[in-house]
Amino acid sequence: MTISLTSPVTGGAQTGFTSPTYTVTADASPTANSRQWAVTAVGGSGNTARTHANGDPFTVTYYRVQSYKTLGPLNAAGFPSRVPRNVDKWVFRKGAIPHSTLAAQNALVTISVDRPAGSESNNPIDLRGLLSLVVGVLNQQSAGFGDTVVSGIL
pLDDT band at 46 (very low <50, low <70, confident <90, very high): low
Q: Which domain holds residue 104?
A: 9-151
Count CA atoms within 13 Å of residue 107 on its CB side.
10
- Stretch (H or E) spanning 144: helix 142-151
In a domain, 3, yes or no: no
Averaged pLDDT for residues 3-27: 89
In a domain, 1, yes or no: no
**Model confidence at 1: pLDDT above 60:** no
pLDDT digits (tens, 9 = 90+) for 61-113: 999 999 999 999 999 999 999 999 999 999 999 999 999 999 999 999 999 99
pLDDT band at 154 (very low <50, low <70, confident <90, very high): confident
In a domain, 127, yes or no: yes
Burial of 118 (0-12, 13-18, 19+ CB in 10 A): middle
For residues 37 and 25, is the Cβ–Cβ distance under 8 A?
Answer: yes
In a domain, 117, yes or no: yes
Computed over every residue of the chain, the mean pLDDT equals: 91
In a domain, 97, yes or no: yes
In a domain, 62, yes or no: yes
Q: What local confidence, expressed as pLDDT, does residue 90 receive?
A: 95
Considering its fold, how many domains does the chain have in total? 1
In a domain, 61, yes or no: yes
CATH number of the structural domain spanning residue 88:
3.30.380
In a domain, 138, yes or no: yes
pLDDT digits (tens, 9 = 90+) for 99-124: 999 999 999 999 999 999 999 999 99
Q: What is the pTM of this model?
A: 0.86
